[in-house]
Structure 1
C-alpha cells in the first residue's frame, strides 16, 4: 500500500532523525514541537486519503490507546493510531494526559480486549504503572501493550504490561496476535 510506504519509509524515518537531533542537542524544543505538528498533519492527510479510498472494511477489533496522565507528548501514539487503523482496527484514542480511570472506563464500556499506553517522559512511568494496576485490580479482560522512548521490555514486564511495543509496526503485530 502506498500509504504504508509513505509512513514506514518516509514519515517514521524523518521523525527518527528529528528525535536523534533533539537528543544530541542539534535542535531544540521549538523545532521538535514544529516537527510533531507537521507529522500530525501528514498523518491526518494519510488517514483522510485512506478513508476516501474505498468502502470501509469490517473492524478487526477495538483498541483503546492513550498517553498516560502527566505526559503531553503523543507523537508516537498518533503514529501507532494511524498504523492500527490502516490494518483495520477500530482505535479509540483517548488523547494525552489521560487519567487511569478514563482508560478503565473506556475499556470496560467498549468491551475492549487490547489497551495501548504511551509515555515519553520518565516522570510519567508511574502513571503508566498506575493505569495497568487499575485495569488488573478491576479484573478487566484485556491485554495491555506499552510503548515510548523511555521504556524497555524489562521495565514493561515489571509494571505488569502484557506486551512491549518498541515501535509502531510492533504495535500492529501485537494487535494482530491479540485480536486476530
Structure 2
C-alpha cells in the first residue's frame, strides 16, 4: 500500500490576543499550512521536483522545517544536546535533497514530533529569555518565534507553487 500524506486542518489565527498567544497562533497556522500543502500526495509526489530546473520538493521542505525547528528551539535556545536532523558536515543541504520516498512517512512524522518537542521546550519560558547564537549574537525566544514564522511563511510560498505544479491544487 502506498503511503499518502494525511489531511491537516489549519487552526485559526488569533484575532486579538496577547503577544505569546499571537506568536504561537501564527506559528501553528504556518506549520499547519505546510502540512496541508502535502496532504493527499503520495511519497513519490512529495519527493518529485515540480518546477525544473529547481530540485526543491515538498518532502525537502518538510525535512528542512523539521531541521530548522530543532536547530532554533531545541539546540540553540534550550541548549539540548541533540544532533541535527538530516544535515551533515559533508552536506549542509541534505535536508533538501537527500530524499528517499520510502522514508516520506517517517520524515512527515519527524516534523510532527519535532513540532511537539519544540512546543514543549518553549512552554512556560519567557519570551525575553536570551541565548547566544552562532556568531555571538544574543537573541531571545521572541526572536525564535518570529524567525520560525518567517521561515515557514517563505517556504509556504514555495509549497504553494510546488503543489499547484504537481496536481493543480491551489488555495489549500
Q: Which has the higher contact order (CA 8 A, sep 6+)?
A: 2
Q: Whose strand proportion is higher, 1 or 2?
A: 1
